[in-house]
Amino acid sequence: MKSQIIKIIFVLLMVMFSSVQATINVFACEPEWAALAEELGGDSLTIYSATTSMQDPHHIQARPSLIAKARRADLLICSGAELETGWLPLLLRKAGNANIQPGQPGNFEAADYVEKQGVPKNLDRSLGDVHAEGNPHIHTNPENTLLVADALRQRLSEIDVDNAKHYLSRYADFEKRWTQLMLEWKKQTNILQGENIVTHHNYWTYLNRWVGLIVLATLEPVPGVSPSSSHLAKIKKQLSQQKIKMILHVSYVNERPTQWLSEQTGIAVITLPATVDYQGGETLSQWFNIVIQQLVSVQ
Ligand SMILES: [Zn+2]
């Protein structure tokens, strides 16, 4: 009798466990990768984004709550190309999670799957260049998003073999929707092709090339370093004979230098949201649609 009860309890437990779907814990360094993971995984992933669209992803604190999340992660998704070099190595060390260390399947760097722009020919780190491996803000070109989506779909299938079909079908659906949207965005931005612009940080490098915008000046003398007033005055002089469509600004950066140049020259400022407001429930396509509508709103 006793052994029969034990048997029944055992069978019940087995049924319970098999009906509970284990989810994969994803730790995304930036919201765009959290949003992309959600497109590809849906309910089979539990996703956490370490940063918001209003934070500078080059500089964040490896605070205890982040370390705790990284400790439980099955998959880490970051931009790579040294974007997170100021905080991620410390975070990984403190998290002590072998699965997400560099070189492991649980460590995914998006920049590995696209062609990088802005790789410096002569690297002088004393200048404070934080884009030593090329520009890391790869998510600003929608074609890159598709390349990363395909690679991420494969990585998810590797980590979570049982759900490979699920990831493949969600990727196929995303690919179809995104490709259609890209055609529309491209059509909308046709009017901007060949226009001159100025940027603060070279955050929109990939977007600029995709749209066909020409960057005549970057306000930061080197990435991450705020321009001095003499540097700004030099740029103002340099631009005086040029026709400039807009100054492109990114949401998380101090607006003062951009505003100054705009006041001095009358050139319009367009502040684009750096990335998806993932925590606010925004999707990748909603964010990129806002970026495009803001861009084409300049008269
Ligand atoms: Zn940057």
Distance 57 CA to ligand 1 centre (A): 8
Distance 120 CA to ligand 1 centre (A): 14
Distance 56 CA to ligand 1 centre (A): 8
Could you write out the three-class secondary structure of the chain? CHHHHHHHHHHHHHHHHHHCCCCEEEEECCHHHHHHHHHHHHHHEEEEECCCCCCCCCCCCCCHHHHHHHHHCCEEEECCCCCCCCCHHHHHHHHCCHHHCCCCCCEEEHHHHCCCCCCCCCCCHHHCCCCCCCCCCHHHCHHHHHHHHHHHHHHHHHHCHHHHHHHHHHHHHHHHHHHHHHHHHHHHHHHHCCCEEEECCCCCHHHHHHHCCEEEEECCCCCCCCCCHHHHHHHHHHHCCCCCCEEEEECCCCCHHHHHHHHHHCCCEEEECCCCCHHHCCCHHHHHHHHHHHHHCCC
Distance 88 CA to ligand 1 centre (A): 15
Helices 31-41 and 164-188 cross at an angle (nearest 10°) of 120
Residues 6+ apart with CB under 8 A from 90: 62
Distance 173 CA to ligand 1 centre (A): 31
Distance 84 CA to ligand 1 centre (A): 10
Q: Give the per-residue pLDDT at 31.
A: 98
Instruction: State the chain's mean pLDDT as an integer.
Output: 92
Q: Give the per-residue pLDDT at 12.
A: 61
Distance 119 CA to ligand 1 centre (A): 13
Distance 138 CA to ligand 1 centre (A): 10
Distance 121 CA to ligand 1 centre (A): 17
Distance 110 CA to ligand 1 centre (A): 15
Sequence letter at residue 238: Q
Distance 136 CA to ligand 1 centre (A): 6
pTM of the model: 0.90
Distance 77 CA to ligand 1 centre (A): 17
Cβ-contact 28, 37 below 8 angstroms: yes
The string of pLDDT tens digits covering residues 121-180 is 776 666 555 677 899 999 999 999 999 999 999 999 999 999 999 999 999 999 999 999
The string of pLDDT tens digits covering residues 2-50 is 667 667 666 665 555 544 457 999 999 999 999 999 999 999 999 999 9
